[in-house]
Amino acid sequence: MNRFEDCLKKGRLKRVEASAETVAGELRTALQELERSRVRYANGAWSESLMQGYFAAYRAARAALLASGYRDTNLFGLCAGLEHTLVEPGRLPGDEIRRLCDAKDRKDIVYEGDARASAAEADEMLRWSS
């Protein structure tokens, strides 16, 4: 059984009837998170900018998965779903899934207080999540 099928079986992914309204709602939230990231970046709050940038990217990825007819319950399910619905058919480069996971790891390190984000890291996250 592959990761996608395993996620469906374990409930990490659920088949849904995605409405344009639901997808648009996720995209609106992604844009709000992106704007928060930009404001925090402009104010020199690098760690907060990095975290908001991650959330913007996560919401945009979630919108893409919803548009494909699936809802995730966690990042593992989101990545497995995106790989199956977008990467395997060649509509999204596989590197983007890895970048999302790497971004989450960095966000978690910053959130837990183990490190602060640098201006360069915040800038990179902001550019990528835009």
Beta pairing partners, 28: none
CB 110 within 8 A of CB 125: no
The pLDDT of residue 21: 96
How far apart CA 73 and CA 23 sit, in angstroms, is: 16
CA-closest candidate to residue 56, choices 23, 26, 94: 26
**pLDDT single digits (tens) 55-74:** 999 999 999 999 999 999 99
pTM, two decimals, is 0.92
**pLDDT single digits (tens) 77-125:** 999 999 999 999 999 998 999 999 899 999 999 999 888 999 999 999 9
